Chains A and B, each alone.
Chain A
Amino acid sequence: MNGRLAGEEARTVRLHLAACSSCAAALAPADRVELLPALDPDIEPSPDLGARFRTRLQEHREQRDARRPWWTVLAWPLPRQLAAAAALAAFLAFGLYVGLKRENTPATAPGASEITIAENLPLLQDLKVIENLDLLEDFDAIENLSVQ
Protein backbone atom coordinates (compact mmCIF):
# COMPACT_ATOMS: atom_id res chain seq x y z
CA MET A 1 0.00 0.00 0.00
CA ASN A 2 1.00 3.63 -0.38
CA GLY A 3 3.10 2.61 -3.35
CA ARG A 4 5.03 -0.10 -1.53
CA LEU A 5 2.94 -2.86 -3.06
CA ALA A 6 1.96 -3.16 -6.69
CA GLY A 7 0.11 -5.60 -8.90
CA GLU A 8 -1.47 -8.70 -7.44
CA GLU A 9 -0.13 -8.08 -3.92
CA ALA A 10 -1.78 -4.68 -3.69
CA ARG A 11 -5.02 -6.07 -5.08
CA THR A 12 -5.10 -8.90 -2.54
CA VAL A 13 -4.51 -6.58 0.42
CA ARG A 14 -7.11 -4.09 -0.80
CA LEU A 15 -9.73 -6.77 -1.32
CA HIS A 16 -9.12 -8.12 2.16
CA LEU A 17 -9.30 -4.71 3.80
CA ALA A 18 -12.49 -3.86 1.95
CA ALA A 19 -14.15 -7.01 3.22
CA CYS A 20 -12.68 -7.10 6.76
CA SER A 21 -13.87 -4.43 9.13
CA SER A 22 -11.31 -5.28 11.83
CA CYS A 23 -8.31 -4.75 9.56
CA ALA A 24 -9.89 -1.71 7.92
CA ALA A 25 -10.39 -0.14 11.33
CA ALA A 26 -6.65 -0.38 11.92
CA LEU A 27 -5.91 1.86 8.95
CA ALA A 28 -5.23 5.53 9.42
CA PRO A 29 -8.18 7.59 8.11
CA ALA A 30 -6.22 8.93 5.16
CA ASP A 31 -5.15 5.42 4.16
CA ARG A 32 -8.72 4.17 3.98
CA VAL A 33 -8.92 5.83 0.58
CA GLU A 34 -6.66 3.00 -0.55
CA LEU A 35 -9.69 0.72 -0.18
CA LEU A 36 -11.77 2.63 -2.67
CA PRO A 37 -10.56 0.79 -5.81
CA ALA A 38 -11.58 -2.50 -4.20
CA LEU A 39 -15.09 -1.09 -3.78
CA ASP A 40 -15.24 -0.18 -7.46
CA PRO A 41 -14.78 -3.53 -9.17
CA ASP A 42 -13.69 -4.14 -12.75
CA ILE A 43 -16.22 -4.65 -15.52
CA GLU A 44 -16.15 -7.61 -17.88
CA PRO A 45 -15.76 -6.62 -21.53
CA SER A 46 -18.48 -7.79 -23.92
CA PRO A 47 -17.92 -11.34 -25.20
CA ASP A 48 -17.89 -10.11 -28.79
CA LEU A 49 -15.24 -7.44 -28.20
CA GLY A 50 -12.54 -9.49 -29.92
CA ALA A 51 -14.71 -10.13 -32.98
CA ARG A 52 -15.73 -6.48 -33.20
CA PHE A 53 -12.12 -5.41 -32.94
CA ARG A 54 -11.04 -7.77 -35.74
CA THR A 55 -13.72 -6.29 -38.02
CA ARG A 56 -12.71 -2.76 -37.10
CA LEU A 57 -9.04 -3.53 -37.64
CA GLN A 58 -9.78 -5.02 -41.05
CA GLU A 59 -11.70 -1.88 -42.07
CA HIS A 60 -8.91 0.28 -40.74
CA ARG A 61 -6.31 -1.66 -42.73
CA GLU A 62 -8.33 -1.38 -45.93
CA GLN A 63 -8.81 2.37 -45.48
CA ARG A 64 -5.16 2.84 -44.65
CA ASP A 65 -3.96 0.79 -47.60
CA ALA A 66 -6.30 2.63 -49.97
CA ARG A 67 -4.84 6.03 -49.16
CA ARG A 68 -1.24 4.92 -48.80
CA PRO A 69 1.19 6.32 -51.46
CA TRP A 70 3.32 3.79 -53.36
CA TRP A 71 6.61 4.82 -51.76
CA THR A 72 5.45 3.61 -48.35
CA VAL A 73 6.53 0.14 -49.49
CA LEU A 74 10.02 1.36 -48.63
CA ALA A 75 8.96 1.38 -44.98
CA TRP A 76 7.74 -2.23 -45.06
CA PRO A 77 9.59 -4.75 -42.91
CA LEU A 78 12.48 -6.43 -44.73
CA PRO A 79 10.81 -9.87 -45.11
CA ARG A 80 7.75 -8.24 -46.65
CA GLN A 81 9.93 -6.15 -48.99
CA LEU A 82 11.83 -9.27 -50.07
CA ALA A 83 8.60 -11.19 -50.68
CA ALA A 84 7.19 -8.32 -52.75
CA ALA A 85 10.46 -8.03 -54.71
CA ALA A 86 10.47 -11.78 -55.38
CA ALA A 87 6.86 -11.67 -56.60
CA LEU A 88 7.65 -8.73 -58.88
CA ALA A 89 10.79 -10.46 -60.22
CA ALA A 90 8.84 -13.65 -60.94
CA PHE A 91 6.18 -11.66 -62.79
CA LEU A 92 8.78 -9.82 -64.89
CA ALA A 93 10.66 -13.05 -65.64
CA PHE A 94 7.47 -14.69 -66.83
CA GLY A 95 6.64 -11.69 -69.01
CA LEU A 96 10.16 -11.73 -70.49
CA TYR A 97 9.97 -15.46 -71.17
CA VAL A 98 6.64 -15.16 -72.94
CA GLY A 99 7.92 -12.18 -74.96
CA LEU A 100 11.10 -13.97 -76.04
CA LYS A 101 9.24 -17.13 -76.94
CA ARG A 102 6.84 -15.21 -79.14
CA GLU A 103 9.75 -13.40 -80.84
CA ASN A 104 11.59 -16.67 -81.66
CA THR A 105 8.58 -18.40 -83.13
CA PRO A 106 8.79 -18.32 -87.05
CA ALA A 107 6.15 -16.31 -88.76
CA THR A 108 3.25 -18.62 -89.32
CA ALA A 109 2.27 -19.58 -92.86
CA PRO A 110 -0.81 -17.91 -94.17
CA GLY A 111 -3.88 -19.89 -93.36
CA ALA A 112 -5.97 -21.66 -95.95
CA SER A 113 -8.72 -19.11 -95.72
CA GLU A 114 -6.24 -16.26 -96.41
CA ILE A 115 -4.95 -18.11 -99.54
CA THR A 116 -8.45 -18.67 -100.81
CA ILE A 117 -9.29 -15.01 -100.38
CA ALA A 118 -6.10 -13.98 -102.19
CA GLU A 119 -6.79 -16.37 -105.06
CA ASN A 120 -10.33 -15.17 -105.46
CA LEU A 121 -9.44 -11.49 -105.22
CA PRO A 122 -10.32 -10.67 -108.85
CA LEU A 123 -13.50 -12.61 -108.41
CA LEU A 124 -14.32 -10.67 -105.28
CA GLN A 125 -13.79 -7.44 -107.17
CA ASP A 126 -16.58 -8.55 -109.46
CA LEU A 127 -18.71 -9.48 -106.52
CA LYS A 128 -21.56 -7.19 -107.51
CA VAL A 129 -21.75 -8.83 -110.88
CA ILE A 130 -21.76 -12.26 -109.27
CA GLU A 131 -24.46 -11.23 -106.86
CA ASN A 132 -26.53 -9.74 -109.61
CA LEU A 133 -25.85 -12.74 -111.80
CA ASP A 134 -27.65 -15.01 -109.41
CA LEU A 135 -30.48 -12.58 -109.25
CA LEU A 136 -30.62 -12.20 -113.00
CA GLU A 137 -30.51 -15.90 -113.54
CA ASP A 138 -33.50 -16.43 -111.31
CA PHE A 139 -35.30 -13.36 -112.45
CA ASP A 140 -37.27 -15.06 -115.15
CA ALA A 141 -38.34 -17.82 -112.79
CA ILE A 142 -39.48 -15.30 -110.23
CA GLU A 143 -41.24 -13.32 -112.86
CA ASN A 144 -43.00 -16.45 -114.08
CA LEU A 145 -43.87 -17.34 -110.54
CA SER A 146 -45.55 -14.04 -109.91
CA VAL A 147 -47.51 -14.40 -113.14
CA GLN A 148 -48.78 -17.75 -112.04
Chain B
Amino acid sequence: METAAAWIPLAMSDTEAPAADADARLMLEFQAGDLVAFELLFSRHSRAIVNFAYRFVRNREVAEELAQEVFIKVYDAGRNYRAEAKFTTWLYRIATNVCLNEIRRPQFRAPHQSLDTPASDDPDDRPPEIEDTARPSPEKQLERRGLRDLLKRALDALPEKQRVAFILNKYQELSYAETAEVMRTSEKAVKSLIHRAKEALAERLAALVPELGLK
Protein backbone atom coordinates (compact mmCIF):
# COMPACT_ATOMS: atom_id res chain seq x y z
CA MET B 1 0.00 0.00 0.00
CA GLU B 2 2.98 2.28 0.50
CA THR B 3 4.18 2.02 -3.08
CA ALA B 4 4.49 5.31 -4.83
CA ALA B 5 1.53 6.24 -6.95
CA ALA B 6 2.16 6.32 -10.61
CA TRP B 7 0.82 9.11 -12.64
CA ILE B 8 -0.98 11.42 -10.25
CA PRO B 9 1.42 13.37 -8.03
CA LEU B 10 0.26 14.44 -4.59
CA ALA B 11 1.55 17.96 -4.81
CA MET B 12 -1.09 20.61 -5.21
CA SER B 13 -1.29 22.99 -8.09
CA ASP B 14 -1.67 26.70 -7.79
CA THR B 15 -4.31 27.11 -10.46
CA GLU B 16 -7.12 27.56 -7.90
CA ALA B 17 -7.14 29.76 -4.84
CA PRO B 18 -10.40 29.05 -3.03
CA ALA B 19 -10.08 31.37 -0.08
CA ALA B 20 -13.67 30.61 0.87
CA ASP B 21 -13.20 26.82 0.95
CA ALA B 22 -14.56 25.86 4.37
CA ASP B 23 -12.80 22.51 4.19
CA ALA B 24 -9.50 24.22 3.52
CA ARG B 25 -10.09 26.37 6.59
CA LEU B 26 -10.73 23.24 8.67
CA MET B 27 -7.54 21.76 7.31
CA LEU B 28 -5.61 24.85 8.38
CA GLU B 29 -7.18 24.61 11.84
CA PHE B 30 -6.09 20.98 12.01
CA GLN B 31 -2.62 22.07 10.97
CA ALA B 32 -2.59 24.39 13.99
CA GLY B 33 -3.31 21.38 16.21
CA ASP B 34 -7.12 21.23 16.27
CA LEU B 35 -8.01 17.53 16.03
CA VAL B 36 -11.73 18.31 16.09
CA ALA B 37 -11.32 20.05 12.73
CA PHE B 38 -9.79 16.86 11.33
CA GLU B 39 -12.65 14.74 12.70
CA LEU B 40 -15.10 17.13 11.10
CA LEU B 41 -13.37 16.70 7.75
CA PHE B 42 -13.57 12.93 8.17
CA SER B 43 -17.27 12.99 8.98
CA ARG B 44 -17.97 15.32 6.06
CA HIS B 45 -16.12 13.38 3.40
CA SER B 46 -15.77 9.75 4.53
CA ARG B 47 -19.00 8.63 2.86
CA ALA B 48 -17.97 10.10 -0.50
CA ILE B 49 -14.52 8.57 -0.25
CA VAL B 50 -15.88 5.15 0.73
CA ASN B 51 -18.13 5.26 -2.34
CA PHE B 52 -15.31 6.48 -4.55
CA ALA B 53 -13.15 3.56 -3.41
CA TYR B 54 -16.10 1.20 -3.79
CA ARG B 55 -16.31 2.01 -7.53
CA PHE B 56 -12.79 0.63 -7.86
CA VAL B 57 -12.83 -2.38 -5.57
CA ARG B 58 -16.53 -3.36 -5.45
CA ASN B 59 -16.23 -4.55 -1.88
CA ARG B 60 -17.56 -2.54 1.05
CA GLU B 61 -15.01 -3.78 3.58
CA VAL B 62 -12.04 -3.06 1.32
CA ALA B 63 -13.53 0.30 0.32
CA GLU B 64 -13.80 1.30 3.99
CA GLU B 65 -10.21 0.20 4.61
CA LEU B 66 -9.05 2.30 1.66
CA ALA B 67 -11.05 5.30 2.82
CA GLN B 68 -9.37 5.06 6.23
CA GLU B 69 -6.00 4.88 4.51
CA VAL B 70 -6.86 8.03 2.56
CA PHE B 71 -7.63 9.92 5.76
CA ILE B 72 -4.48 8.62 7.47
CA LYS B 73 -2.57 10.14 4.54
CA VAL B 74 -4.51 13.37 4.94
CA TYR B 75 -3.57 13.34 8.63
CA ASP B 76 0.11 12.77 7.85
CA ALA B 77 0.14 15.37 5.09
CA GLY B 78 -1.61 17.89 7.32
CA ARG B 79 1.47 19.83 8.32
CA ASN B 80 2.50 20.30 4.69
CA TYR B 81 -0.94 21.33 3.52
CA ARG B 82 -1.26 24.66 1.79
CA ALA B 83 -4.69 25.96 0.89
CA GLU B 84 -3.81 26.58 -2.72
CA ALA B 85 -6.28 24.16 -4.26
CA LYS B 86 -9.79 23.20 -3.31
CA PHE B 87 -9.67 20.70 -0.45
CA THR B 88 -11.80 18.10 -2.26
CA THR B 89 -9.48 18.26 -5.27
CA TRP B 90 -6.56 17.46 -3.02
CA LEU B 91 -8.55 14.77 -1.18
CA TYR B 92 -9.62 13.05 -4.39
CA ARG B 93 -6.07 13.13 -5.66
CA ILE B 94 -4.93 11.24 -2.58
CA ALA B 95 -7.92 8.88 -2.86
CA THR B 96 -7.21 8.20 -6.53
CA ASN B 97 -3.62 7.31 -5.76
CA VAL B 98 -4.66 4.99 -2.93
CA CYS B 99 -7.29 3.24 -5.08
CA LEU B 100 -5.02 2.85 -8.09
CA ASN B 101 -2.26 1.47 -5.92
CA GLU B 102 -4.73 -1.03 -4.52
CA ILE B 103 -6.08 -2.31 -7.84
CA ARG B 104 -2.57 -2.49 -9.26
CA ARG B 105 -1.42 -4.80 -6.52
CA PRO B 106 -0.97 -8.36 -7.77
CA GLN B 107 -2.83 -9.63 -4.72
CA PHE B 108 -5.71 -7.17 -5.24
CA ARG B 109 -7.99 -7.76 -2.27
CA ALA B 110 -11.39 -7.59 -3.98
CA PRO B 111 -12.41 -10.51 -6.18
CA HIS B 112 -12.22 -9.77 -9.89
CA GLN B 113 -15.02 -10.97 -12.09
CA SER B 114 -15.43 -11.07 -15.81
CA LEU B 115 -18.60 -10.23 -17.66
CA ASP B 116 -19.22 -13.97 -18.03
CA THR B 117 -19.21 -14.86 -14.34
CA PRO B 118 -22.49 -15.20 -12.44
CA ALA B 119 -23.91 -12.25 -10.57
CA SER B 120 -22.59 -11.41 -7.12
CA ASP B 121 -23.99 -12.95 -3.92
CA ASP B 122 -23.46 -9.70 -2.03
CA PRO B 123 -26.90 -8.57 -0.77
CA ASP B 124 -25.94 -4.99 -1.70
CA ASP B 125 -25.53 -6.05 -5.30
CA ARG B 126 -28.79 -7.94 -5.61
CA PRO B 127 -31.50 -6.12 -7.53
CA PRO B 128 -34.53 -5.34 -5.38
CA GLU B 129 -37.97 -6.78 -6.02
CA ILE B 130 -39.64 -4.75 -8.73
CA GLU B 131 -43.10 -4.36 -10.05
CA ASP B 132 -43.79 -5.12 -13.67
CA THR B 133 -45.08 -2.24 -15.76
CA ALA B 134 -46.04 -1.89 -19.37
CA ARG B 135 -43.31 0.62 -20.12
CA PRO B 136 -40.40 0.10 -17.73
CA SER B 137 -37.87 2.80 -17.04
CA PRO B 138 -34.19 2.19 -17.84
CA GLU B 139 -33.66 1.49 -14.14
CA LYS B 140 -36.37 -1.17 -14.10
CA GLN B 141 -35.13 -2.69 -17.32
CA LEU B 142 -31.75 -3.19 -15.75
CA GLU B 143 -33.18 -4.49 -12.52
CA ARG B 144 -35.50 -6.89 -14.27
CA ARG B 145 -32.64 -8.36 -16.20
CA GLY B 146 -30.53 -8.56 -13.05
CA LEU B 147 -27.83 -6.78 -14.93
CA ARG B 148 -26.78 -4.09 -12.50
CA ASP B 149 -23.84 -6.30 -11.77
CA LEU B 150 -22.91 -6.23 -15.44
CA LEU B 151 -22.80 -2.47 -15.35
CA LYS B 152 -20.32 -2.61 -12.51
CA ARG B 153 -18.15 -5.08 -14.33
CA ALA B 154 -18.28 -3.10 -17.55
CA LEU B 155 -16.96 -0.13 -15.59
CA ASP B 156 -14.26 -2.28 -14.04
CA ALA B 157 -13.13 -3.32 -17.51
CA LEU B 158 -12.38 0.25 -18.60
CA PRO B 159 -8.76 1.36 -18.94
CA GLU B 160 -7.47 3.00 -15.76
CA LYS B 161 -7.53 6.66 -16.81
CA GLN B 162 -10.93 6.40 -18.46
CA ARG B 163 -12.27 4.74 -15.37
CA VAL B 164 -10.86 7.41 -13.03
CA ALA B 165 -12.19 10.23 -15.21
CA PHE B 166 -15.62 8.60 -15.55
CA ILE B 167 -15.93 7.88 -11.81
CA LEU B 168 -14.81 11.35 -10.76
CA ASN B 169 -17.08 13.11 -13.24
CA LYS B 170 -20.15 10.88 -13.36
CA TYR B 171 -20.23 9.26 -9.91
CA GLN B 172 -18.52 11.82 -7.68
CA GLU B 173 -20.02 14.62 -9.79
CA LEU B 174 -16.88 16.69 -10.10
CA SER B 175 -16.89 19.12 -13.00
CA TYR B 176 -14.57 18.60 -15.96
CA ALA B 177 -12.31 21.30 -14.54
CA GLU B 178 -12.17 19.65 -11.10
CA THR B 179 -11.61 16.22 -12.66
CA ALA B 180 -8.77 17.66 -14.72
CA GLU B 181 -7.31 19.23 -11.59
CA VAL B 182 -7.42 15.92 -9.68
CA MET B 183 -5.87 14.04 -12.59
CA ARG B 184 -3.37 16.81 -13.30
CA THR B 185 -4.35 16.98 -16.90
CA SER B 186 -6.27 19.34 -19.17
CA GLU B 187 -10.02 19.64 -19.43
CA LYS B 188 -9.71 18.66 -23.06
CA ALA B 189 -7.98 15.43 -22.09
CA VAL B 190 -10.68 14.72 -19.51
CA LYS B 191 -13.43 15.25 -22.09
CA SER B 192 -11.66 12.86 -24.41
CA LEU B 193 -11.22 10.23 -21.67
CA ILE B 194 -14.87 10.44 -20.69
CA HIS B 195 -16.04 10.31 -24.30
CA ARG B 196 -14.02 7.15 -24.87
CA ALA B 197 -15.24 5.67 -21.60
CA LYS B 198 -18.85 6.26 -22.61
CA GLU B 199 -18.26 4.67 -25.99
CA ALA B 200 -16.63 1.63 -24.41
CA LEU B 201 -19.42 1.25 -21.85
CA ALA B 202 -22.10 1.62 -24.51
CA GLU B 203 -20.34 -0.92 -26.68
CA ARG B 204 -20.11 -3.46 -23.87
CA LEU B 205 -23.61 -2.99 -22.54
CA ALA B 206 -25.49 -2.53 -25.82
CA ALA B 207 -25.30 -6.17 -26.69
CA LEU B 208 -26.18 -7.28 -23.17
CA VAL B 209 -29.03 -4.83 -22.50
CA PRO B 210 -30.53 -3.90 -25.88
CA GLU B 211 -33.53 -2.33 -24.12
CA LEU B 212 -31.33 0.52 -22.96
CA GLY B 213 -30.93 1.58 -26.59
CA LEU B 214 -27.27 2.42 -26.16
CA LYS B 215 -26.55 1.83 -29.83
**Chain A residues close to B by CB (< 8 Å):** 3, 6-8, 10-11, 17-21, 24-25, 29-30, 32-40, 42-46, 49-50, 52-54, 56-57, 60, 64, 75, 77, 79-80
Contacts and interface: CB of A to CB of B under 8 A. Distances in A.
Most-contacted residue by chain B among A32, A33, A43, A52 (CB, 10 A): A33
Contact of A24 (B47, B124, B138): B138
A141 to B, nearest CB: 83
Main secondary structure on B side of the interface with A? helix
Interface stretch (B9-17, B93-101, B108-116, B174-182): B174-182
Identify the interface centre among A39, A50, A77: most chain B CB within 10 Å of its CB. A39
Contacts, number: 117
Given A49-B50, A50-B46, A79-B32, A6 B178 contact: yes
A35 B151 CA distance: 11
Contact of B137 (A7, A20, A50, A60): A20
Nearest to B175: A6
Given A33-B198, A45-B64, A45-B67, A38 B214 contact: no
Interface in B152-185: 152, 155, 169-171, 173-176, 178
B25 interface: no
Contacts of B31: 77
A51 to B, nearest CB: 11
A57 to B, nearest CB: 6
B212 A32 contact: yes
B199 A30 contact: yes
A92 B142 CA distance: 73
Contacts of A36: 151, 155, 170, 201, 205
A49 B46 contact: yes
Nearest to A21: B137
B92 interface: no
A50 B136 CA distance: 39
A13 to B, nearest CB: 11
